[in-house]
Amino acid sequence: MATLRTKREALVLVKEMTPENLEATVRRSSRNGLAPKRLQYSPEEETPKKKRKTKAVAVNGSQNKKPKDEEDAENSDVEHAPEGYGRLSAYELERLENIRQNQAFLSSINLFQATEEFKQLTRPKPSQRGLTRAHAAVKEVLPPRKSLRLQKKEAEILELPPEPRGTLIYEQSSPAKKPSGPLPMDPVNVEEGSKLPPQLLELCSEDVKEDKKILLDLKGYCSSMKINEDKVAKVVKDRIFSATFHPCTSSLLLAAGDKWGKVGLWKLGGDWGDDGVLLFQPHTRPVGCMAFSKSHPTQLLSLSYDGSLRCMDVEKAVFDDVYDIEDGLKTFDFMSHDCSTLVVGNWYGEVAIVDRRTPGNSHESLHTLDPKTLRCVNVHPLQKQYFVVAESKVVSIYDSRNLKKTKSQAVSQLHGHSLSISSAYFSPCTGNRVLTSCMDNNIRIYDTSTMTTKSPLLTTIRHDMQTGRWLTKLSAVWDPKQEDCFVVGSMMKPRRVQVFHESGQLQHSFMDSENLSTVLSVTAFHPTRNALLGGNASGRLHVFSD
DNA sequence: ACGTGATGACTCC
DNA sequence: TGGAGTCCCTCACG
């Protein structure tokens, strides 16, 4: 049993103490060697539940037969008064003793006191900044209803709707995919017909100097980066799948994409929309990947599982089509410094090299890699012909000049992953390292400086990746300002975001009892400023900055 | 054996 | 009072 570090942690523990997970807690504790003696049931019995079942069988056999009143006592979970002890078997005395020891153990860790002391405490209220309820819920006005019976009419004969055809049925009634062609950039959270705030274009067009990178000792600058209530806001409605900083430096401008294809733009301290948040709906299914164009920072490219890749252009105030397939886009990256060519990966294990200067999909080149396993593509920062692909259990580096329709030969491979790999990224300055996040609970760093057929593994870091059903998968991502540090969300309590050096050394844990109380699955550093973002499962962005 | 798919308790307005 | 919002772990199944 871990020591309780904060009041909230203790409260969570207490709140979670249902009979089911109390059992689990005791089991966990026993692995740590701290637990009291476990209840000792007879060998074939695992739990009290099972016990009852097996007992029913045992009654028929002659060996374990017990008087009926003793059985009732067990089932009622009420202990007999002391005079009853005389009739208890040795097994039951041991059971009572175990219960007593368990009680003593639970008292010794102050669980019961903690229950009393922290009963009133709740987790901090989520930030009310950003999107509001009024905008989030569209109220449907229905005419008053009167049943047919009250209207004294014959009942209608209703028929079941026809069985849906096709193989893909999404949860809820998923809205139809947006039509192709430019979509107007109309925010859904402000009054209809209102224009984009002109300051947004101004901010996006701001001259960005790459050489203004602030290189400080990481430990120093991490501890200067703080969060406060102004730096948390609801930017999209649902769970965040992707998020990024705009490269501008005079203000902090962020973008996030959610589960239902919404894209939110948030300027910290902005006076437009809801606390600086503008919400758009360019897609209809999760926005898996997004990035601002480095050569045209008024453009934000966003990719969705619905099969569309669009380019939000603040200048033209539209979402343009960039690339479109029926379904299942997964990931993309820029292949040239001018951001005109892209590598786009889909669920079917195909990568397409897309040139944005030729409209439509006609000029794309499509290459099938390992089918159904592609999860991430990332281009080498200097040698743009190389891109790294996270496949099922291997990461491959391909040369885009050397791709075939099928069975392309990888330039180099990174081995050692034992489960599926969620992401793989080249280090930002030299590309001499590749950082991978794997479902086997390891973050790995490989040496790709020589591009030999097998790139050597340098570092392995244990990290809990079991995010389960309700959270976006964790991905370790480099700090673009330097070569050798990366950030990753964490399941640990109290909730935190961690920064590691490529050597495996933990540099900093970003925590805040007031403003960070959820898992931040999606994380990213600002390209030039000392700022870090984290997105959670309810559409909130959190910023740590100077 | 791994990837996939599945909820429920609680609070607040 | 009920519906919407918030948060997020493990396990069965094929």
Q: Identify the pLDDT of residue A112.
A: 57
Is the bond preceding residue A187 a cis peptide, omega within 30 degrees? no
pLDDT class of A21 with cuts at 50, 70, 90: very low
Q: Identify the pLDDT of residue A83.
A: 43
Q: Is the pLDDT of residue A334 over 80?
A: yes
What's the rounded Cα separation, in Å, for the pair A355 and A158? 52
Q: Are A300 and A292 in contact (CB under 8 A)?
A: yes
The mean pLDDT value for A466-488 works out to: 95
Within A 384-443, residues with CB less than 7 Å from strand C: none
pTM of this prediction?
0.75
Q: Is the CB of A518 under 7 A from strand C?
A: yes
Q: Is the pLDDT of residue A2 over 90?
A: no
What's the rounded Cα separation, in Å, for the pair A252 and A266? 8
Ramachandran class of A193: left when φ > 0, alpha when ψ lies in -120 to 50, beta otherwise: left
Q: Identify the pLDDT of residue A208.
A: 76
Q: Identify the pLDDT of residue A113.
A: 59
- Of the candidates A460, A461, A463, A526, the one whose C-alpha atom is nearest the C-alpha of residue A490 is A463
- Which is more confident, A209 or A392? A392
Q: Is the CB of A134 under 7 A from strand B?
A: no
The distance (Å) linking the CA of A195 with the C1' of C9 is: 44
- Which is more confident, A514 or A38? A514
- Which is more confident, A45 or A435? A435
Q: Identify the pLDDT of residue A109.
A: 67
A112 contact partners, CB below 8 Å, separation of at least 6: A106
Q: Identify the pLDDT of residue A462.
A: 95
Give me chain A's average pLDDT, please: 79
pLDDT class of A88 with cuts at 50, 70, 90: confident
Proportion of chain A above pLDDT 70, given as a percent = 71
Residue whose tokens read 């078997």 = A89
Q: Is the pLDDT of residue A387 over 80?
A: yes
The tokens of A462 are what? 């244990």
The mean pLDDT value for A266-280 works out to: 95
CA atoms within 13 Å, Cβ hemisphere of A233: 27
The distance (Å) linking the CA of A285 with the C1' of B10 is: 28
Q: Is the pLDDT of residue A96 over 90?
A: yes
The tokens of A300 are what? 């934000």
Q: Identify the pLDDT of residue A107.
A: 76
The distance (Å) linking the CA of A112 with the C1' of B13 is: 32
DSSP secondary structure letter of residue A276: T
Strands A531-535 and A540-545: antiparallel
The distance (Å) linking the CA of A85 with the C1' of B1 is: 49
Q: Identify the pLDDT of residue A51.
A: 31
Q: Find the residue closest to B5 using CA and C1' atoms.
A: A469
The distance (Å) linking the CA of A78 with the C1' of B10 is: 30
- Of the candidates A296, A220, A242, the one whose C-alpha atom is nearest the C-alpha of residue A524 is A242
- Which is more confident, A92 or A11? A92
The mean pLDDT value for A303-317 works out to: 96
Q: Is the CB of A142 under 7 A from strand C?
A: no
Sheet-wide strand order for A232-234: A232-234, A540-545, A531-535, A522-525
The tokens of A494 are what? 């109290």
Lowest mean pLDDT among A40-49, A385-394, A531-540: A40-49
pLDDT class of A303 with cuts at 50, 70, 90: very high
Q: Is the pLDDT of residue A23 over 70?
A: no
The mean pLDDT value for A21-45 works out to: 35
Residue A128: which nucleotide is closest by CA–C1'?
C5
Q: Find the residue closest to C10 using CA and C1' atoms.
A: A468
The distance (Å) linking the CA of A391 with the C1' of B5 is: 21
The distance (Å) linking the CA of A469 with the C1' of C12 is: 14
The mean pLDDT value for A503-513 works out to: 95
- Which is more confident, A255 or A220? A255
3-state secondary structure at position A31? helix
Q: Is the CB of A174 under 7 A from strand B?
A: no
Query: Cβ–Cβ contacts within 10 Å for residue A504, how many?
Result: 14
Q: Identify the pLDDT of residue A406.
A: 87
pLDDT class of A34 with cuts at 50, 70, 90: very low
Q: Is the pLDDT of residue A31 over 60?
A: no
Helix spans in A77-225 (H): 90-108, 111-118, 133-136, 198-204, 218-224
The mean pLDDT value for A70-89 works out to: 45
Q: Is the CB of A392 under 7 A from strand B?
A: yes
- Residue burial A526-543, b: 16+ Cβ < 10 Å; e: rest: bbbbbbbbbbbbebbbbb
Q: Is the CB of A467 under 7 A from strand C?
A: yes
Q: Identify the pLDDT of residue A506.
A: 95
Q: Is the CB of A466 under 7 A from strand B?
A: no
